[in-house]
Amino acid sequence: GALAQQAPGAASPRIYNTVKQKLMEGRQVVGGTVSSPDPGIYCAMANAGFDYLWIEMQHSPLTYQDVARMIWACRGAPAIPFIRVPDATEGDIQKATDIGALGIIVPMVDTVEKARAAVRFAKYPPAGVRSQGGGQYGALWGNDYRRTANDNLTVVVMIESPAGAAIVDEIAAVPGVDAVFAASTDLSSFSGLPQGAPKYEAMVEKIRDATLKAGKKLGGPLAWKDRQGFSFFQGPGETALVRSGARVALGSPTVEGGRKGIAP
């Protein structure tokens, strides 16, 4: 699979992306979602026990300057910075990698070309066309970053529509894609089908089967943690965590209304 593309007899690369390492070992990983520009909140979440942080730049007003400061403020924290970029464009992915993200999450993937673009812009030559330029990546991840970055970057593509689900086998097969994420709420939004409906579940099963057949990792919301085959999860954001933390502090029930296994 894309998580372990090593030539026979080659020296093992230095892996500092602990998320990639855990996935290679067959373990599950969970990320907390960050939409706030506050470095203090970022650091609290980065040290709270999450494997990675899903930094939300598609559906938030966060700027790359905001996120650069956040990542730098908590350099050395256990949670690895992943950025959901607005789109699979060279500019977005270049900035995200330059400021130190080791994971690139690409939304709304419904063509093979978009998946290939994500890999191409995220990886240095010869695997891609990322420009070396400058950034805080070296200070964060070491002087050998240029040699090791391609082995440490994780590319996650999101299937959010029936159009993407229809060709998920081709998308999952793209070299350099590490994980395919089944976007629970948008799959429902675009299809008009509620979670749990037979046709909805058939879409999810198709994404699962194609992803695992391609040797890639399968992602979804944390509510799907007990579903077979899933190993990469998006966890709650800051506001939900504040609410649940307050309930604990006040001795109130911690679980909000809803059905088990259904993503909010």
pLDDT digits (tens, 9 = 90+) for 174-207: 999 999 999 999 999 999 999 999 999 999 999 9
Contact 190, 184 (CB under 8 A): no
- Tokens at residue 72, please? 């730098």
Distance of CA 41 to the CA centre of its chain: 19
pLDDT at 260: 78
* Residue predicted with more confidence, 4 or 142: 142
Quickly state the pLDDT bin for 4 (edges 50, 70, 90).
Answer: very low
Quickly state the pLDDT bin for 1 (edges 50, 70, 90).
Answer: very low
Q: Which residues of 84-102 are buried (b: 16+ CB within 10 A; e: fewer)?
A: bbbebeeebbbbbbbbbbb
DSSP H or E run through 180: strand 179-182
Report, as an integer, the average pLDDT of 10-38.
94
**10-18, Cβ contacts within 8 angstroms, sequence gap of 24 or more:** 13/148, 13/151, 13/152, 14/142, 14/144, 14/148, 14/151, 15/151, 15/152, 16/102, 16/141, 16/142, 16/148, 16/152, 17/80, 17/102, 17/103, 17/152, 17/153, 17/154, 18/51, 18/78, 18/80
Residues with catalytic roles: 59
Average pLDDT of the chain is: 94
**C-alpha to C-alpha distances, 263 to 52, 126, 185, nearest whole angstrom:** 19, 39, 7
Percent of the chain with pLDDT over 70: 94
Residues constituting the chain: 264
Give the single-character DSSP code of 232.
Answer: E
CA distance 176 to 253: 43
CA distance 23 to 6: 16
For tokens 């855990």, name the residue.
22
Report, as an integer, the average pLDDT of 31-48.
98
pTM: 0.92
**C-alpha to C-alpha distances, 17 to 22, 86, 235, nearest whole angstrom:** 9, 22, 19
Report, as an integer, the average pLDDT of 237-261.
83
CA distance 264 to 261: 9
